[in-house]
Amino acid sequence: MTGNAAPVAIPEKTFAVDRPIVGLVLMRPMIVLLTQDRIHPFHMEVDGSAATFRSVSFLDGFALHSNASEMAFVASDSAIAFLERVPDQDLAEDLCRTRRFEAAVAVLRSPGRDPDVTGGQLMSARERDLARVYGQYADDLFQSGRYAASLKAFQQSDVDPSTVLTRFNGLSSDAMCDQTVAALMPYLLHLRSRLPRQHPPSSAAPLTPADFAVVVDTMLLRTYLKADRRLVIPFLSQSPLVDVDQAAAALTSAGQFDALLFLYESRAMHDRALSLLQGLADSTTGTLSGTLPTIHYLRRLMDEDAIHHWDLIRRHAVWALDRDPITAAVKIFAYHHRRRSSVGSGEAHRTTIGPTAIIDYLKERAPVQAAIAFLEAYIANTGTTLAPIHNELAHLYMSAILQPGAPVDAGRRMQDFLCRCQYVDLPALLQDMPADKGDLLASERAVVLHRLGRSDEALRELVEHQGALAAIGFCNTHAPSSATRLHMQLLRVFLQPAAGDPMIEPALQLLHSHYRQLDACEVVKLLPDTLPVERVRDYVEKTVGHHLEVHRRNQIEKHLCRGQHRQAHLDLYARQRPRVVVDGCGRCDSCRQPIADPNVVVVRYPNGAVIDYKCLPDL
């Protein structure tokens, strides 16, 4: 039958029975149908079948509705059956057992009354039952994978929010679809606004408000990863309560390594951050590949608290020094000292790692080029004049030259350093230079000997170990800044060797190429008597021509200087020459007579006195 046959407005529903209906009782919201052998109760607001409810077996009879109470009775020839209304709570439980949760909710939301329950007790009982049904409904939706709908049901249930979030937090990234995220985000933000902002406890105690805050923030992070990944780092910077392990797993799964690095660094988990950077160094994509991210991170640790992080820095700098020793040594360690030297007095109390400790570490764990690069940058940045620092750099240069596969510029860099540095202990360095490595260190020893005033010895060693061309090149380099005549000394080495015959060919080559730097008179004295004149003819012609050119240039300069001197003398005389005006008002400083004639000759003395010419003593 159709529900609109009743005298009151009833939702349109059809209740099916398998026998002809012989009686009907409307007991809102219940309908009782009587067939030939059964009684069927139906709830008007629940869509279902008769099999859902308990039916009572009865023979032919009739049904009536009691006006005095909410019950009905059915009578026949042999019996009367009283039908009392089933409580809504019991009916809702029956519906929940058959997973008809929406129908159970409809029953509990109906305006009917339960027996022995009145007033506020009815409302509170219904609210509790309704919350319990919503909890079962939400659990069923969650199990079936309808996460967004289940969250809405959870919000109206009596299930603790921590339980809800724990279940959602266990979902995989694939299960967190856009619809689920859209439902979760406002719910989480609402919960977060009501939580105390404090750090979570360290013990694994039952869920406290702080623990619950951790769950909320961790779940909110996962929603941001799905909704808008640009919000992840700003959220992490404002939330100290995210569970690091769960957040790390979510960020790693999403490939958000920049955010993961920020998470570790903001929580001072530097060891995990540096391990992450080392693992990403070989990746071909992303901004964290290579050694530079690790180098910059270690540099920040040095600036933050070098003493506290020293062991951590030493452990994680090894692989960066192996791959890029020079860049790592300079940017991690030397930059640290440059920053400290430039900060204001307010940070002067902060301690730093001294250069000696850094050098010891670099010599132990890195190539020698790293230690050299550090000390070069350290000296340039700080301007230190400490002799031990400069001595150490000189010894490092020497070690680099002596090691197999030495850099091609190691010798040149050491020579430049020895030429310009004024703080190296040269005698001690000379003693430390191995005598059996003369071929490798000849140029460096020559620089040291030259600076010690032993230029002849330096040139002899160069000629012996590296040849005449090397000695000539040494003279060309150091002659402009030297007070000694290196080319003349080299010629003496060629022509007056300590042992063996004179080196005529190198001497002639030096004469032809550097005749301007040589004293012709001394050259003539040094040349062997047996040397043919023809062999020095070219030198003599060049020398004579050079001297004539010098003489002419000197004469020209002399005349120019003389003219400039005369002109300067005239200019000075013109500036110092006084002017005396005879206007008839002046008097002679000798006779005190007025000088009336404007054409009279007067004399002015250096002291300023003006005397008539006729009053001069010698006239």
The confidence band for 222, taking pLDDT boundaries of 50, 70 and 90, is confident
Please say if the pLDDT value at position 417 is more than 80.
yes
How does pLDDT run across 280-291, given as a tens digit for each residue?
A: 888 877 788 889
Domain 3-86 class in CATH: mainly beta
Count CB neighbours of 231 within 10 A: 14
* CA atoms in the 13 A half-sphere facing the CB of 220: 26
Find, among 100, 90, 96, the residue nearest to 30 by Cα: 90
Report the SS3 class of residue 283.
Answer: coil
Find, among 220, 201, 200, 262, the residue nearest to 237 by Cα: 262
User: Alpha-carbon distance 414 to 393, whole Å?
Assistant: 9
Find, among 104, 4, 117, 93, the residue nearest to 48 by Cα: 104
Gyration radius of the chain's alpha carbons: 54
Report the SS3 class of residue 238.
Answer: helix
Which tops the pLDDT comparison, 229 or 310? 310
Which tops the pLDDT comparison, 430 or 153? 430
The confidence band for 294, taking pLDDT boundaries of 50, 70 and 90, is very high
Q: Are 595 and 602 in contact (CB under 8 A)?
A: yes
Q: Which residues have a Cβ under 8 Å from the Cβ of 260 and sit 6 or more positions away?
A: 247, 248, 251, 252, 276
Furthest-apart CA atoms within the chain: distance in Å: 188
Which pairs count as long-range contacts for 169-176, CB under 8 Å and 24+ apart, including other chains?
169/215, 169/218, 169/219, 169/222, 169/246, 171/147, 173/222, 173/225, 173/226, 173/250, 173/253, 173/254, 175/145, 175/147, 176/222, 176/223, 176/226
Share of the chain above pLDDT 90, in %: 9
Quote the pLDDT of residue 477.
86
The full 3-state SS of 106-138, as one line of letters, equals HHHHCCCCCCCCCHHHHHHHHHHHHHHHHHHHH
User: Alpha-carbon distance 21 to 28, whole Å?
Assistant: 19
Q: Which residues have a Cβ under 8 Å from the Cβ of 305 and sit 6 or more positions away?
A: 350
Token pair 């540095």 in the structure block, residue: 421
> Two tokens at 552?
């002419």
Find, among 155, 163, 214, 160, the residue nearest to 190 by Cα: 155
Q: Mean pLDDT, the chain, as a whole number?
A: 76
User: Alpha-carbon distance 146 to 64, whole Å?
Assistant: 46
Quote the pLDDT of residue 203.
39
For residues 20-29, give the mean pLDDT: 64
Tell me, what amino acid is at 26? L
pTM score of the predicted model: 0.60
For residues 202-220, give the mean pLDDT: 62
For residues 403-429, give the mean pLDDT: 86
Find, among 425, 428, 477, 427, the residue nearest to 454 by Cα: 427
For residues 478-485, give the mean pLDDT: 71
Quote the pLDDT of residue 25.
65
E strand or H helix at 297: helix 292-305
Quote the pLDDT of residue 74.
61
Burial tier of 394 (Cβ tally within 10 Å: 0-12, 13-18, 19+): buried
Domain ranges of the chain: 3-86, 580-619
How does pLDDT run across 104-151, given as a tens digit for each residue?
A: 787 777 765 454 444 445 457 778 888 888 888 878 888 887 877 777
Q: Which residues have a Cβ under 8 Å from the Cβ of 420 and sit 6 or more positions away?
A: none
* Residues in a beta bridge with 63: 74
How does pLDDT run across 421-474, given as a tens digit for each residue?
A: 889 998 998 888 887 776 788 888 888 888 888 888 888 888 888 888 888 888
Comparing 153-157, 525-529, 591-595, 609-613, which segment has the lowest mean pLDDT? 153-157
Which tops the pLDDT comparison, 55 or 126? 126
Q: Are 602 and 610 in contact (CB under 8 A)?
A: yes
- φ and ψ of 27, to 5 deg: -130, 85
Comparing 105-114, 234-243, 246-255, 432-441, which segment has the lowest mean pLDDT? 105-114
Please say if the pLDDT value at position 378 is more than 80.
yes
The confidence band for 350, taking pLDDT boundaries of 50, 70 and 90, is low
Please say if the pLDDT value at position 69 is more than 60.
no
Q: Are 579 and 586 in contact (CB under 8 A)?
A: no
Quote the pLDDT of residue 218.
72
Helices (H), 28-160: 88-97, 101-109, 119-143, 147-155
Find, among 140, 138, 229, the residue nearest to 187 by Cα: 138
E strand or H helix at 25: strand 21-27
Please say if the pLDDT value at position 51 is more than 60.
no
Q: Are 219 and 168 in contact (CB under 8 A)?
A: yes
Which tops the pLDDT comparison, 5 or 388? 388
Helices (H), 438-597: 438-451, 455-465, 468-478, 486-495, 504-513, 520-526, 533-576
User: Alpha-carbon distance 218 to 197, whole Å?
Assistant: 14
User: Alpha-carbon distance 612 to 592, whole Å?
Assistant: 10
Query: What is the four-CA torsion angle of 592, 593, 598, 603, rounded to 10 degrees?
Result: -40
Token pair 């690069």 in the structure block, residue: 373
Please say if the pLDDT value at position 487 is more than 70.
yes
User: Alpha-carbon distance 583 to 591, whole Å?
Assistant: 18
Q: Are 291 and 327 in contact (CB under 8 A)?
A: yes
Comparing 32-46, 120-134, 557-571, which segment has the lowest mean pLDDT? 32-46
User: Alpha-carbon distance 400 to 327, whole Å?
Assistant: 17
Please say if the pLDDT value at position 557 is more than 90.
yes
For residues 67-90, give the mean pLDDT: 62
Chain centroid offset of residue 70 CA: 77
Q: Are 259 and 222 in contact (CB under 8 A)?
A: no
User: Alpha-carbon distance 350 to 268, whole Å?
Assistant: 19
Quote the pLDDT of residue 118.
47
E strand or H helix at 84: strand 80-84
Please say if the pLDDT value at position 507 is more than 50.
yes
Comparing 119-123, 333-337, 513-517, 586-590, which segment has the lowest mean pLDDT? 119-123
Count CB neighbours of 454 within 10 A: 15
Please say if the pLDDT value at position 57 is more than 80.
no
Which tops the pLDDT comparison, 432 or 618? 432
**Which of 150-154, 155-159, 254-258 is predicted most confidently?**
254-258
**Which of 61-65, 150-154, 200-204, 587-591 is predicted most confidently?**
587-591
Comparing 40-44, 485-489, 545-549, which segment has the lowest mean pLDDT? 40-44
* CA atoms in the 13 A half-sphere facing the CB of 71: 10
> Two tokens at 36?
């030939």
> Two tokens at 588?
């002679």
Tell me, what amino acid is at 10? I
E strand or H helix at 248: helix 244-254
Q: Are 291 and 323 in contact (CB under 8 A)?
A: yes
Please say if the pLDDT value at position 390 is more than 70.
yes
> Two tokens at 407?
């850099």
